[in-house]
C-alpha cells in the first residue's frame, strides 16, 4: 500500500514518502493510549502498551522467558541504597521490610544525634508529637549557633541573646505578667489600664475639660494678676489685666458724668417726690416740686382755648375721615370724605377742555398748517396736555386714507405729539382709529401766552375727503 505520509530527506533537505514499515510504527504508537506509569513493549509484531503494576509488584520475565510481566515482590535479603551517609540512621521504605533508605539523621560514636543538612529537619510534627523531653542539669537549648540560648542552673532558666516575645498574655502562678508591648497594666495594679494617653486619662478620671481644667492661656494670665483690694479683672483685647475701680468704670462705659449721671441735688429732690396721678415735676424757683396738670399747661403756654385748640366734634369728625380721591371728587359718591385742593385739581372738575371747530359740516377738510390756533390763558400756566380727540361730520369711503392731525406749540417751536391724531377713512371719531395718538411727555406743558397751532397734516384722498372737523384738547394741572 502506498504511503501518503511524508518525511524529510536528510541528504537533500526535501520531503520523501514514508515506507510501509515506518508508517506501521507510527500507527502502533498512535494507537497506544496515555496513562500514568504505562510502558511500551514489542509483542514481536507490533508495539503495544503495558499498564502500570499494582502496589508491591515488580516487573520481571515470565517463567518461559518469552515476555515480561508484573509479579508480587518476593521475600529474602534486605536491599539498601547504593550509597549512604556515614553513621546515618537506616529507615525502611514501605511495609515490606526488605528495602532500606538513607535518612537525614546521624548518630555519631559519642551518641550525638544531628541532621545531615543544617536547619532542614524537625523533631516531631503537630500530629506526631513527643510526650516528654528530659534534660540534665546545666542543659542548654541553643538557637541558631548562640543567637538565643536557654540555660539551666539550679532552680533557674537563663534566657540570653534575644527578646522574649509572648504570643499571649503570660502568667506566673495565675498572676499576669506585664511587659512592654503586652497587656496594659490595670489601674488596680498601679497602671493606667490603657495604651494611649487619652485612654489613660479616661481610666484615671482625669479627662481634660471634664474632670480637670484644660490649659488656657487666659487662666494662666489671670493667675498671675495682683489680688489687691478693689481690683477688677478686665480683658484688654490681648490678655486679662487688673484694673482699679475708676479704670474699670471707663472700660465698662460707665464713666461718672460721661456715661452715667453723677450725683445731683435736684435729682435727689425728684427722687424724694411721691408720685401722684396727673402730677408733673415743676419748680418753685428754689426746688423741684410736683405741679398739677392745669398749672403745668400754664407753665408751658398750652392753655386750652387760648394757646391750643379745644376739642371740637366737627374737627374730630374730619379727623376720623379720609380725604376724597380725584376719582371720588369726579363721581361724588363719598359723602364722608373731605375734599383737598390736590384731589379737586386732578378730578374732572379741575380739567380744562378746549374744543375748536376747524371746518364746518359742509366744508371739505384740506391739509394746511395752522388750520386753527388758540392762546394759553394765565389760569392754565404750567398745565399739561393730557388727551386729544377729533371727529368729522361726514366720512370718506372705507378705502380712503384717513385724516392726520398734529398739535404744535408755535411759541416753543415744539411738536406736542410723538404720534399724530388719526381719524380713519371710514370712521367718524378718532377713538376708533387703529393708530392711537401719543402725547410727547417732553413737550406737553404750556405757559401763559403760548400759541398752540392745530395742523392738518393730511386731509385724505383729494377725490374722497371727509367734511366738517372738530378737535378737543384736555389740559390738567400736574
- Pull the grid cell for residue 74: 518476593
Domain 351-476: CATH class, spelled out? mainly beta
What pLDDT is attached to residue 1?
Answer: 43
Phi, psi of 361 (to 5 degrees): -60, -25
pLDDT (0 to 100) of residue 140:
85
pLDDT for the residue 2: 46
Q: Provide the pLDDT for residue 102.
A: 67
Q: How far is CA 91 from CA 26, 82, 88, 97, 316, in A?
A: 45, 14, 9, 10, 136
* Residue 35 confidence (pLDDT): 78
**What ranges do the domains of the chain cover?**
1-33, 157-214, 351-476
Terminal-residue alpha carbon distance, the chain: 134
Q: So what's the pLDDT on residue 376? A: 95
Length of the chain: 478
pTM of the model: 0.36
Q: pLDDT by residue (tens digit) across 176-228?
A: 676 676 777 888 887 887 888 888 899 888 888 888 888 887 888 888 888 88
Establish how many alpha carbons lie within 13 A of residue 220's alpha carbon, considering only the half-sphere containing its beta carbon: 4
Q: Which three cell numbers stand for residue 405?
A: 392731525
Q: How confident is the model at residue 368, as a pLDDT? A: 92
pLDDT of residue 39: 84
Q: Which residues of the chain have pLDDT under 50?
A: 1-3
Amino acid at each position: 500500500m502506498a504511503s501518503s505520509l511524508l518525511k524529510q530527506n536528510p541528504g537533500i533537505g526535501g520531503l520523501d514518502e514514508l515506507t510501509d514499515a515506518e508508517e506501521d510504527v507510527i500507527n502502533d504508537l498512535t494507537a497506544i493510549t496515555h496513562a500514568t506509569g504505562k510502558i511500551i513493549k514489542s509483542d514481536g509484531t507490533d508495539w503495544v502498551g503495558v499498564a502500570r503494576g499494582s502496589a508491591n509488584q515488580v516487573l520481571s520475565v515470565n517463567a518461559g522467558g518469552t515476555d515480561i510481566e508484573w509479579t508480587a515482590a518476593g521475600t529474602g535479603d534486605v536491599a539498601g541504597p547504593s550509597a549512604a551517609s556515614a553513621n546515618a540512621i537506616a529507615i525502611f521504605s514501605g511495609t515490606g521490610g526488605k528495602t532500606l533508605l538513607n535518612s537525614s539523621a546521624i548518630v555519631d560514636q559519642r551518641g550525638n544525634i544531628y541532621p545531615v543538612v543544617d536547619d532542614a529537619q524537625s523533631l516531631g510534627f503537630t500530629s506526631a508529637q513527643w510526650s516528654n523531653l528530659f534534660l540534665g542539669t546545666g542543659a542548654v537549648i541553643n538557637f541558631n549557633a548562640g543567637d538565643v540560648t536557654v540555660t539551666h542552673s539550679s532552680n533557674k532558666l537563663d534566657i540570653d541573646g534575644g527578646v522574649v516575645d509572648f504570643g499571649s498574655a503570660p502568667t506566673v502562678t495565675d498572676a499576669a505578667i506585664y511587659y512592654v508591648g503586652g497587656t496594659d497594666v490595670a489601674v488596680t495594679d498601679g497602671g493606667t489600664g490603657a495604651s494611649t494617653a487619652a485612654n489613660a486619662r479616661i481610666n484615671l478620671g482625669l479627662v481634660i475639660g471634664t474632670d480637670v481644667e484644660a490649659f488656657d492661656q487666659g487662666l494662666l494670665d489671670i493667675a498671675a494678676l495682683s489680688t489687691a483690694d478693689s481690683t477688677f479683672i478686665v480683658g484688654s483685647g490681648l490678655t486679662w489685666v487688673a484694673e482699679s475701680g475708676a479704670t474699670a468704670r471707663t472700660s465698662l462705659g460707665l464713666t461718672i458724668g460721661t456715661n452715667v449721671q453723677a450725683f445731683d441735688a435736684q435729682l435727689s429732690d425728684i427722687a424724694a417726690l411721691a408720685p401722684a396721678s396727673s402730677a408733673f415735676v415743676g419748680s418753685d424757683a428754689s426746688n423741684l416740686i410736683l405741679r398739677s396738670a392745669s398749672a403745668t399747661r400754664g407753665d408751658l403756654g398750652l392753655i386750652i382755648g387760648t394757646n391750643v385748640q379745644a376739642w371740637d366734634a366737627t374737627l374730630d369728625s374730619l379727623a376720623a375721615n379720609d380725604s376724597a380721591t380725584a376719582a371720588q371728587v369726579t363721581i361724588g359718591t363719598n359723602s364722608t370724605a373731605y375734599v383737598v385742593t390736590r384731589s379737586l385739581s386732578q378730578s374732572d372738575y379741575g380739567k380744562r377742555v378746549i374744543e375748536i371747530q376747524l371746518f364746518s359740516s359742509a366744508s371739505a377738510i384740506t391739509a394746511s398748517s395752522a388750520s386753527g390756533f388758540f392762546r394759553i390763558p394765565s389760569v392754565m400756566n404750567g398745565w399739561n396736555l393730557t388727551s386729544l380727540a377729533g371727529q368729522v361730520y361726514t366720512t370718506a369711503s372705507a378705502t380712503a386714507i384717513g385724516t392726520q392731525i398734529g398739535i404744535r406749540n408755535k411759541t416753543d417751536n415744539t411738536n406736542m405729539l410723538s404720534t399724530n391724531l388719526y381719524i380713519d377713512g371710514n370712521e367718524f371719531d378718532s377713538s376708533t382709529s387703529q393708530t392711537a395718538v401719543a402725547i410727547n411727555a417732553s413737550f406737553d406743558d404750556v405757559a401763559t401766552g403760548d400759541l398752540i397751532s392745530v395742523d392738518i397734516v393730511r386731509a385724505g384722498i383729494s377725490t374722497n375727503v371727509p367734511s366738517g372737523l372738530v378737535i378737543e384738547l384736555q389740559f390738567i394741572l400736574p
